[in-house]
Structure formats: C-alpha cells, structure tokens
Amino acid sequence: MTPKQTALYFREWGYVRGYCTRHRLPEPDRHALHRQALGYDRSSKVFTNAEFDQVLAVFRGVSMPGSVNSQVRQLNEPRTRDLGKVEELLKCIGLYVEDARAYALEIVRDTVNRGSVHAVTPIEDLPGWQLKKLIMDLSRRLNGRHGLRNLHGDTLHQMKSRAGVKCSCRDCAPRGPGAYVDGATGQVFAGVEDALSNEPF
C-alpha cells in the first residue's frame, strides 16, 4: 500500500474502534474483518487496491452502519480508478492525435462492438473487464515500441508533463521530511508507514 493508503487504513480502523467504544460494543479483531472482507486473512501491507477497497467497505460497515452509500462508493472505487486511468491516457493521447476520445471509441468499436458502426458502447458503460482491456490497448498504442509517444520522441516524463498528468518518475516523486529513496530500486518512501504502524499486521 502507498503511504496515503496506509494512513487512510489506520484512520478508518480508528473510526471502527471509536464507534465500538462510544456504543459500548466489543472491539472486533482487525484480522477477522480482513477475513470477512476478503474470505482470507492478509497483511494490510500487501493489500492490492481491490483488497484495500473491500476491507475499507467492511470497516465502514462497522463504523457507519447506517450509511450504505459510503460502503457502496468504496466498492465502486476500482471502476472509478479505471475510468480515471482512461482519462489520463486520453489526455496523453490528445498530444498526438486530434480527437483522443474518438480514437478510443474506434478501439471500442473494433474490440467490443466487433467492427459495427452502429451504436458504439460509450467508455463509461463498458463492463469492468472491457474497461481494463481498453486501458491496456490505449497504453500499448501510446507507450509501445512503435507507440505514439516513441514515434514523437518524448520521454514518459515529457509526455505526462505536457499533458498535465501526474508523473511518478524518480524526479517528480515527493520528497518531504522523512522521505527517502531506495538506492537499489529508486523507489521513494515517505516514512509514513513505519510511523503509523505500531501494532503487528
């Protein structure tokens, strides 16, 4: 998990503990909630994004039992992230083609609608697996060996900077107080995870 996800995880766990204290309920075992959410126990340090969303939804089911909206919203996060990724890709593709959305819809027409020119499925209505396939197709056409970015001689950083998309390269990674860079991998660590995790995972 990222430092932000770790901070959110422990904040939501704090809400669970606070709710139980206020209502004089026994505090649930955190790992029991992991099992309830996932069907198995797993350390929060190695959650995938989907696992993280499922666990947060269960935490919120305990801390906000009357608010179904917050739980449903959390379970919809993977789709929201995928749509956000498509939008980022379209901004980058827009640097190289005149109409990036029409370009993406042409891919949808070819792969989802099997070449039919009638009623192309809008990107927002694609099922999850087709949305992920579109992300892979757009990424390949943008960043592949013969992709648009390489044909125009842009680095990943140059392209993302010009498109106004957040860049996560080594030079752009945040380096606030307590942050450090792993010399072997170049990965930037913010120092938050160790500060937040006083109890075993």
Q: What is the pLDDT of residues 70-96, one digit of tens each?
A: 555 555 567 777 888 888 999 999 999
One domain, residues 45 and 32: yes
- 75 Cβ contact list (under 8 Å, min separation 6): 53, 54, 57
Whether residue 180 is contained in a domain is answered as: no
One domain, residues 84 and 149: yes
* Residue at a domain's end among 56, 75, 94: 75
One domain, residues 69 and 141: no
One domain, residues 11 and 54: yes
Q: Measuring CA to CA, which residue among 192, 173, 174 is closest to residue 6?
A: 192
What is the band of 182 on the pLDDT scale with cuts at 50, 70, 90?
A: very low
One domain, residues 48 and 84: no
pLDDT on residue 112? 65
pLDDT on residue 70? 56
Mean pLDDT of the chain: 77
One domain, residues 140 and 92: yes
- 126 Cβ contact list (under 8 Å, min separation 6): 108, 112, 134
Domain residues for the domain of 95 are: 80-163
One domain, residues 86 and 159: yes
Q: Pick the residue with more confidence: 179 or 68?
A: 68
One domain, residues 59 and 106: no
Q: Measuring CA to CA, which residue among 2, 11, 45 is closest to residue 191?
A: 2
Taking CA atoms, 106 is separated from 87, 88, 111, 130, 142, in Å, by: 16, 18, 9, 14, 15
pLDDT on residue 104? 87
Lowest mean pLDDT among 81-85, 156-160, 170-174: 170-174
Taking CA atoms, 81 is separated from 27, 50, 139, in Å, by: 32, 10, 15
Long-range contacts from 56-61, C-beta under 8 angstroms, 24+ separation: 56/8, 56/9, 56/12, 58/33, 59/12, 59/13, 59/15, 59/16, 59/33, 60/12, 60/15
Q: Which amino acid is at 100?
A: A
What percentage of the chain exceeds 70 in pLDDT?
Answer: 75
Range 53-62 average pLDDT = 85
- 56 Cβ contact list (under 8 Å, min separation 6): 8, 9, 12, 74
Lowest mean pLDDT among 78-82, 141-145, 166-170, 191-195: 191-195
What is the band of 99 on the pLDDT scale with cuts at 50, 70, 90?
A: very high
Whether residue 24 is contained in a domain is answered as: yes
One domain, residues 31 and 17: yes
Range 108-124 average pLDDT = 68
Whether residue 169 is contained in a domain is answered as: no
What is the band of 35 on the pLDDT scale with cuts at 50, 70, 90?
A: confident
pLDDT on residue 71? 53
Range 16-34 average pLDDT = 88
As a 3-state breakdown, the chain gives helix, strand, coil percent values, each rounded to 5, of 60, 0, 40
Whether residue 184 is contained in a domain is answered as: no
pLDDT on residue 173? 64
Whether residue 18 is contained in a domain is answered as: yes
Overall domain count for the chain: 2
Whether residue 133 is contained in a domain is answered as: yes
Whether residue 173 is contained in a domain is answered as: no
Whether residue 56 is contained in a domain is answered as: yes
pLDDT on residue 116? 56
